[in-house]
């Protein structure tokens, strides 16, 4: 097995870059596009709101469980084959949505979550290996691809489901054509079986990192941001419909929310290198996100604007929190340890969000407590972002 990638021609590099963008296109849309058709799923299978929230929660639990296994898979099979397996799992999960069974819907969604977890963990390692001098540019580009595909499909899924009465199942499963095309484009990479970077295969369960205050500030900043983000990914269309929007309008606004979350990387990546600390930026973004949540509640006529603000702030806080992992650590292994801690706690908090929000809505018969919860979570995330944004480092021996 090769330890480094072979020398590439311009054409093969372009095909690799296209493959990376297409893999990224599969790492969000298959789960986030459930939101606009969630009400139809609830009616079809007579689900409670908490059961419906589980459809968003399942992939996040799969992220938390499968993420540590991805490095072992890559070490055994190589990055290229492991990412191919990721696409196959996503494709299988999407195709299972054609089966009219709530059990298969849950199983397929969990399989999609495992596939996405593998891609999420391994794609940065591939970028670091094959584009070492363009990591920031490539990362921004593939995060943008994630947002564009997820946002566009969220906006299209209601009209697609209504077209000739195709229905929500075919509409959701039809994203498999994107996955199938991605698999085809990725096939040339299978002749290589390169190892992941040493950072990825290192033991990231070092207990000392969990004892450091700054590590918890960064982890809770990211975790609470994911908490309110995935509540909105799951329930924003339902919130909008209850406030008077049509399902088609709600789908478009839900898509705009996801598109807006992808664009902060273009603004923040060059800005972050110039800031000595990021305290004011973190707090400002969190306050704006809180205003966006209250805006949805008290001024629903401007829902499109609030969704853009919420999406932008959610994406920006995520990028800011991820940048803390590099800025506050001394070396790559320490960064890997902190990343493992942040992902573990972050995914668990994100998994709790949609189900808890569904339960709140059932109890109060209103989305108002849920939007208050989103606002409070974003503001507390900002407080931890402020603490994590101080120009200090983790202890070198952590």
Mean pLDDT of the chain: 86
Instruction: Give the separation between CA 284 and CA 135, rounded to whole angstroms.
Output: 27
Pair 268, 363 in one domain: yes
Q: Are 44 and 342 in contact (CB under 8 A)?
A: no
Pair 329, 197 in one domain: no
Domain boundary among 169, 201, 233: 201
Burial of 363 (0-12, 13-18, 19+ CB in 10 A): exposed
Residues 302-308: what's their mean pLDDT? 96
Residue 152 resides in a domain: yes
Q: What angle do CA 369, 341, 49 make, to 5 degrees?
A: 30
| Per-residue model confidence (pLDDT) at position 308 | 96
As a dihedral over the C-alpha atoms of residue 115, residue 118, residue 119, residue 125, rounded to 10 degrees, the angle is: -170
| Per-residue model confidence (pLDDT) at position 188 | 92
Pair 21, 149 in one domain: yes
Using alpha carbons, select from 195, 216, 226, 217 the residue that is nearest to residue 78: 195
Residues 278-290: what's their mean pLDDT? 93
User: Could you give the 3-state DSSP secondary structure of residue 223?
Assistant: helix
Using alpha carbons, select from 337, 376, 348, 377 the residue that is nearest to residue 221: 377
Question: What token pair was written down for 205?
Answer: 């369960």
Domain boundary among 138, 168, 201: 201
Pair 275, 378 in one domain: yes
Backbone angles phi, psi at 193, to 5 degrees: -135, 70
Residue 387 resides in a domain: yes
Q: Are 319 and 39 in contact (CB under 8 A)?
A: no
Pair 274, 129 in one domain: no
Residue 32 resides in a domain: yes
- Token pair 């902190």 is found at 338
Pair 216, 190 in one domain: no
Residue 268 resides in a domain: yes
Residue 246 resides in a domain: yes
Which of left, alpha, beta for 47 (phi over 0: left; psi -120 to 50: alpha)?
Answer: beta
Residue 139 resides in a domain: yes
Residue 1 resides in a domain: no
Using alpha carbons, select from 194, 235, 186 the residue that is nearest to residue 356: 235
| Per-residue model confidence (pLDDT) at position 92 | 97
Output helix, strand, coil percentages for the chain, rounded to the nearest 5: 85, 0, 15
Pair 180, 239 in one domain: no
Pair 311, 247 in one domain: yes
Residues 112-127: what's their mean pLDDT? 86
The CATH number that applies at residue 326 is 1.20.1250.20
pLDDT band at 235 (very low <50, low <70, confident <90, very high): very high
Instruction: Give the separation between CA 81 and CA 135, rounded to whole angstroms.
Output: 22
Instruction: Give the separation between CA 360 and CA 196, rounded to whole angstroms.
Output: 43
Residue numbers of the domain that contains 21:
7-201
pLDDT band at 203 (very low <50, low <70, confident <90, very high): very low
Instruction: Give the separation between CA 294 and CA 249, rounded to whole angstroms.
Output: 20
Instruction: Give the separation between CA 54 and CA 52, rounded to whole angstroms.
Output: 5
Pair 249, 114 in one domain: no
Instruction: Give the separation between CA 116 and CA 106, rounded to whole angstroms.
Output: 15
Quick one: DSSP state of residue 396? T
User: Could you give the 3-state DSSP secondary structure of residue 391?
Assistant: coil
The proportion of the chain whose per-residue pLDDT surpasses 90, expressed as a percent, equals: 50
Q: Are 147 and 21 in contact (CB under 8 A)?
A: no
Quick one: DSSP state of residue 164? G
Higher pLDDT, 369 or 53: 369
pLDDT in tens, 44-89: 999 888 888 888 888 888 887 877 787 778 888 888 999 999 999 9
Pair 183, 223 in one domain: no
Number of domains in the chain: 2
Domain boundary among 183, 201, 219: 201
Backbone angles phi, psi at 199, to 5 degrees: -60, -40
Instruction: Give the separation between CA 304 and CA 252, rounded to whole angstroms.
Output: 9
User: From the centroid of its chain, how far is CA 341?
Assistant: 17
This prediction has a pTM of 0.81
Pair 197, 208 in one domain: no
Question: What token pair was written down for 307?
Answer: 């969704």
Pair 149, 213 in one domain: no
């Amino acid at each position: 097995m090769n330890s480094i990638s072979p020398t590439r021609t311009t054409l093969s590099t372009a095909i690799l870059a296209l493959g990376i963008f297409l893999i990224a296109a599969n790492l969000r849309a298959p789960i986030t596009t459930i939101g606009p058709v969630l009400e139809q799923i609830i009616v079809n299978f007579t689900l409670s709101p908490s059961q419906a929230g589980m459809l968003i929660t399942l992939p996040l639990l799969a992220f938390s469980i499968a993420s540590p296994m991805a490095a072992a898979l890559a070490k055994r099979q190589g990055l290229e084959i492991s990412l191919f397996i990721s696409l196959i799992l996503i494709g299988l999960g999407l195709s299972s949505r054609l089966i009219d069974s709530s059990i298969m819907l849950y199983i397929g969604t969990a399989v999609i979550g495992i596939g996405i977890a593998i891609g999420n963990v391994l794609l940065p390692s591939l970028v670091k290996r094959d584009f070492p001098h363009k990591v920031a540019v490539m990362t921004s580009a593939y995060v943008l691809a994630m947002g564009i595909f997820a946002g566009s499909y969220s906006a299209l899924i209601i009209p697609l489901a209504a077209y000739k009465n195709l229905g929500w199942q075919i509409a959701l499963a039809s994203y498999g054509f994107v996955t199938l095309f991605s698999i085809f484009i990725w096939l040339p990479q299978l002749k290589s079986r390169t190892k992941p970077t040493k950072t990825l295969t290192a033991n990231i369960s070092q207990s000392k990192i969990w004892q450091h205050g700054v590590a918890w500030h960064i982890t809770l900043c990211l975790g609470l941001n994911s908490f309110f983000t995935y509540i909105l990914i799951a329930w924003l269309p339902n919130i909008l419909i209850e406030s008077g929007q049509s399902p088609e309008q709600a789908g478009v606004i839900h898509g705009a929310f996801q598109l807006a979350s992808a664009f902060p990387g273009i603004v923040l990546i060059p800005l972050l290198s110039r800031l000595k600390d990021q305290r004011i930026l973190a707090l400002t973004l969190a306050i704006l996100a809180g205003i966006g949540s209250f805006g949805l509640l008290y001024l629903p006529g401007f829902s499109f604007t609030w969704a853009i603000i919420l999406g932008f702030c959610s994406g920006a806080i995520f990028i800011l929190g991820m940048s803390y992992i590099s800025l506050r650590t001394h070396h790559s292994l320490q960064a890997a340890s902190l990343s493992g801690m942040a992902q573990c706690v972050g995914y668990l908090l994100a998994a709790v969000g949609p189900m808890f929000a569904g339960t709140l809505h059932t109890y109060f018969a209103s989305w108002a407590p849920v939007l208050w919860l989103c606002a409070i979570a974003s503001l507390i995330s900002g407080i931890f972002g402020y603490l994590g944004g101080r120009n200090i480092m983790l202890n070198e021996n952590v």
